[in-house]
A and B are shown apart, each in its own frame.
Chain A
């Protein structure tokens, strides 16, 4: 499904702030893989997602998605293949536009936009049904401006928008990190539900090791721009938080103390 081979990325090369974010990264995903990604700050987790999404150009290597070479495609042209939810709940929606307008924008992800009406009546009915699934009552407020919603509501809406058109790959970049624990739990269970229902292939970055262990069929750990640990299936199910901590400490040489990795929920 996704094939990343020999991808490297260095930010600000040749300056004092030079930072090698990805080093000869390789990753291969099978269809319907749901991968959780953990790792310390600056390990390259978000960078990897951003490279797949095309936010920055890669320095070398190739990225194939669903058999298509997207290595050098601009971000907006990759959008047809990708659903994305960001860490910042404000990032995934347009605050000054209505809920239904936002959904209509997402419904047209990767399609040609013309002079047809921006939101059709038929779509409004679809959106009404979809919004009901969130259980937040948003289906009764479809013409409300998104800026009036709370962070959690906006994040749930972004998640729904990301899956409105089935993406080849869903990219979740710490999408519950900025939410309060209760809302985070709600958005996470929605994530699980949607991934399972539409049988999506997904990459989810998280700082919560319990979530990383509980969700998905595969787990990867990143360190200094490389994947240092990759488990799946039965082996992953047997893993415990302590095992991950041990792995992590071995890799980082005991720098664990200054990291924001979470032990508890």
Chain B
């Protein structure tokens, strides 16, 4: 029974974190940028939301504020990258480090509990009478469905297509009159808005915000994307790809829940995640090299020696 409950909790957590993974997907796969702002903007979402709720602001409104804060963070990384021509990875790290101090300033301390404060999950639980685990799963699914629909629509529009083209072939995009710098900033802002939304929802769900809650978020997001690609394959439609990211996030949480149940120390979790992502990124490379080595033919005549020795 304990494991089932743990898995249910894992899935609902996975869906909320899946919103972050969607944000990371936009930068990592569409803009082709590894955006390390994420660790900071995830915590920024949580901290902004917690600070506002404890100040008496409506928890739904706090979510909106978290999204805006996240978008600003992405905007800053975008400007550092495009205007100041700082490499994207470094630009993200700079924003991330800066956000650590900003998050501390926002909350005035390193940890804010929300045990006695209202959250969207407590409110809905009170209205419907359902348990919090169920509520966070349902709310998460509704958000995910809405966000995937909006993203699917947006990336089919003229602006969305231009952002995709910018990530695909920047020179071509410019030669066809697209402002690639603006597109990158816009993509980073949207991405970090989603990440901060996820941070705010996770904060409300777990009942506290912590300045360190974003540590390793980027790696968890990448793990979700890769797990999703393993399950659904790489050649799927855009909508399926977005869905696969969220499924990947849920599966990641289930894996974590299972290994914790099996007795893994929580301290070792980040190492496990890092190894998981490293392995997932390495396996395709090794497979490709094996394939190449296996098909190597020392005979100049292509027909001879196939499948030989």
Contact = CB atoms under 8 A, between A and B. Distances in A.
Interface of A: 53, 75-77, 79-80, 82, 84, 86, 90-97, 101, 104-106, 108-111, 113-119, 161
B175 A53 contact: yes
Contact of B171 (A91, A95, A111, A115): A91
Contacts of A104: 161
Interface of B: 154, 156-162, 164-165, 168-169, 171-180
Contacts of B179: 76
A95 B168 contact: yes
Nearest to B175: A84
Contacts of B176: 79, 105-106, 108-109, 161
A223 B180 CA distance: 34
B177 A115 contact: no
A143 B249 CA distance: 30
Contacts of A116: 157-158
Contacts of A96: 164, 168
A79 B174 contact: yes
A161 B176 CA distance: 9
A213 B237 CA distance: 48
A90 B168 CA distance: 11
Nearest to A116: B158
A249 B268 CA distance: 72
B169 to A, nearest CB: 5
Contacts, number: 80
Contact of A115 (B159, B169, B180): B159
Which 4 pairs show the lowest CB-CB distances between chains A and B? A79-B177, A118-B161, A94-B168, A113-B158
Contacts of B171: 86, 91
Contacts of A77: 177
Given A91-B172, A117-B156, A118-B156, A111 B177 contact: yes
A113 B156 CA distance: 12
Contacts of B161: 97, 101, 104-105, 113, 118-119
12 contacts: A53-B175, A79-B176, A82-B175, A90-B169, A94-B169, A96-B164, A97-B161, A97-B164, A110-B177, A111-B177, A113-B178, A118-B160
Nearest to B180: A76
Contacts of B177: 76-77, 79-80, 108-111
Nearest to A164: B176
Nearest to B157: A115
B168 A114 contact: no
Contacts of B169: 90-91, 93-95
B238 to A, nearest CB: 11
Contact of A94 (B158, B159, B165, B180): B165
Contacts of B154: 115
A160 to B, nearest CB: 13
A115 B150 CA distance: 12
A77 B156 CA distance: 23
Contacts of B178: 76, 79, 105, 113
Contacts of B164: 94, 96-97
A257 to B, nearest CB: 33
A186 B96 CA distance: 52
Contacts of A109: 176-177
B181 to A, nearest CB: 9
A76 to B, nearest CB: 5
B281 to A, nearest CB: 19
B158 A79 contact: no
A79 B7 CA distance: 54
A91 to B, nearest CB: 6
Interface centre among B156, B159, B168, B173 (most CB of A within 10 A): B168
Given A79-B175, A110-B177, A105 B157 contact: no
Nearest to A83: B175
Contacts of B175: 53, 75, 79, 82, 84, 92
Contacts of A80: 177
